Structure 1
Amino acid sequence: MSACPFCQTTMRSTFLGGLPREECGDCGAVWFEGEALSKVMGGSVSDALVRRAKGHPGICKGCKAKLQYVPSCPDCGAQAPTCPSCGHAPLPVVEALGVAVEVCSDCAGVALDPGELQQLQRAAETYRNEPLDVRPKVRLGVVQACTECKRGLKPKYGFVWEERLYCGSCAPDGSVPFSEELAKATPSEASSVPQTPGYKAGIREDATGSALTWLFSRVFGR
């Protein structure tokens, strides 16, 4: 058993819906091991999670201050969200479909507090049956320039990262070359309910595990 990433209380192990996890009986948080997520959803999903998380700040659960490279919050003194597997702190916050989750950028584990669990459930209900293209897209304005260095840039020569356009010199790790498809949202096969382990059509064996599997398969399973 491991310590809760948020309140450090010892968690209990559970296994429902094909996705093992640990739950905190004190604050209600849940922790999903990166190795387990990789087995259920594939290594590409874990790799995408780690790429997305690198360089992102964490968020203090006490005062909501942004945290970067510190084990505790400099504003309120609360311990930073910490990976129960490797001790990485603070856990970077990654947002997918409006759901903020803490992801360990070293071992790809995922932590959710009770508020994030509710966000996850709402997102699953809202988007599960809607057509949605989750490939990386870029919002092109009237003036087209690199997000980082601000130099003028024709999209066809640029790279896309988190809906922003970058030149080759400034492009973050994990960015992809621009293509016309990335500048518009089109329906894709992602509109159907994914038949991933932990979800059966019409049956919710475990709402949290099912919703998390659905979310990451939708957003990262390209």
Structure 2
Amino acid sequence: MSACPFCKTAMQLTPSGELPMETCTACGAVWFEGEALTKVMGGSISDSLLRRAKNESGQCKGCRAGLDFVTHCSVCGTRAPTCPRCGHAPLPVVEALGVPMEVCSGCAGVALDAGELEQLQTAVEAHRNEPLDARAKVRIEGKPHCVGCRRNLQLKHGFVFNEQLFCGSCAPRESTPYSERFSHNDIPLTFTCKRGGEHFNFDGYIGAGLKWLLHRMFQG
């Protein structure tokens, strides 16, 4: 049996034939991974969830303070949510379909508080065919450039971390490759063009070709 990610109490396996997961007898939390994760959320959503977890921070179960690279909360001393398989702490918090959960991308496992599994299953049934946007958020002003070395770069070669754009040489280990696949759920990019003291701001992805043309004109 594994230790609960939240309170360290020994968890119990579900009876044979049911959804393969472990349940904490003390706090009611559940842990499931691999095949169970796919059964609960669907393949595309679970894959996106694991990718997103690489860029998110954890959260203290005692005082809700943010946690980064620590095993215990510096505010209240509560033990950080920990993966029962590999011991990684803190587990990052990712919200999917309106339900927050602790995720270990290395072990492909998810921890949920008591009652959240039912919420998640209900949400999945309503949105099973809607892919979860796995890309990190980024805001770009002016010509795309690396915030580390300041060199200009093409977006397709960029990496995103903490809503900032990096080149391959400066990108932190936890960064995510930038994706140019647009959808209605995307966070808008802002390009600011200047000419003769005037500022022209264009938000969103609609009219991307026009923005590119105007940018070339203003640079001339």
TM-score where L is the length of structure 2: 0.60
What is the CA-CA distance between 1:37 and the residue it aligns to?
Answer: 4.0
User: 2:30 aligned with 1:30, yes or no?
Assistant: yes
Hey, what's the Cα distance between the residues in 1 that align with 2:116 and 2:183? 29
Which of residues 147, 150, 163 is equivalent to 1:149? 147
Give the partner amino acid of 2:69: Y
Name which structure has the greater RCO, CA cutoff 8 Å, separation 6+: 1
Hey, what's the Cα distance between the residues in 1 that align with 2:157 and 2:95? 23
1:42/1:12 CA distance change after superposition, 3 Å? same
Hey, what's the Cα distance between the residues in 1 that align with 2:167 and 2:158? 7
Please tell me whether Structure 1 or Structure 2 has the larger radius of gyration of its CA atoms. Answer: 2
Hey, what's the Cα distance between the residues in 1 that align with 2:136 and 2:88? 31
Give the partner amino acid of 2:99: V
1:138/1:74 CA distance change after superposition, 3 Å? closer
Alpha-carbon contact 2:9-2:24 (below 8 Å) kept: yes
1:110/1:31 CA distance change after superposition, 3 Å? same
What is the CA-CA distance between 1:175 and the residue it aligns to?
Answer: 3.3
Give the 5 Å matches for 1:35-54.
37=37, 49-54=49-54
What is the CA-CA distance between 1:82 and the residue it aligns to?
Answer: 1.4
Alpha-carbon contact 2:160-2:178 (below 8 Å) kept: no
Hey, what's the Cα distance between the residues in 1 that align with 2:144 and 2:115? 35
Hey, what's the Cα distance between the residues in 1 that align with 2:14 and 2:38? 17
User: 2:59 aligned with 1:79, yes or no?
Assistant: no
User: 2:62 aligned with 1:67, yes or no?
Assistant: no
1:42/1:183 CA distance change after superposition, 3 Å? closer
Hey, what's the Cα distance between the residues in 1 that align with 2:70 and 2:171? 26
1:133/1:145 CA distance change after superposition, 3 Å? farther
1:82/1:166 CA distance change after superposition, 3 Å? same
What is the CA-CA distance between 1:110 and the residue it aligns to?
Answer: 1.2
Hey, what's the Cα distance between the residues in 1 that align with 2:154 and 2:98? 26
Alpha-carbon contact 2:30-2:112 (below 8 Å) kept: yes
What is the CA-CA distance between 1:69 and the residue it aligns to?
Answer: 2.2
Q: Secondary structure at the match of 1:79?
A: coil
Deviations 1:62-110 (A, max 9, x none): 1001112222112111111111222222212223333321112432221
Aligned to 1:3: 3
Return the structure number with greater helix share: 1
What is the CA-CA distance between 1:136 and the residue it aligns to?
Answer: 4.7
Return the structure number with greater strand share: 2
Hey, what's the Cα distance between the residues in 2 that align with 1:117 and 1:65? 23
Structure 2's unaligned 5+ residue stretches are 186-220
Give the partner amino acid of 1:143: E
Structure 1's unaligned 5+ residue stretches are 187-222
User: 2:83 aligned with 1:97, yes or no?
Assistant: no
Q: Secondary structure at the match of 2:14?
A: strand
TM-score where L is the length of structure 1: 0.59
CA RMSD of aligned residues (A): 4.2
1:81/1:168 CA distance change after superposition, 3 Å? same
Alpha-carbon contact 2:147-2:164 (below 8 Å) kept: no
Hey, what's the Cα distance between the residues in 2 that align with 1:184 and 1:47? 18
Alpha-carbon contact 1:137-1:183 (below 8 Å) kept: no
1:141/1:162 CA distance change after superposition, 3 Å? closer
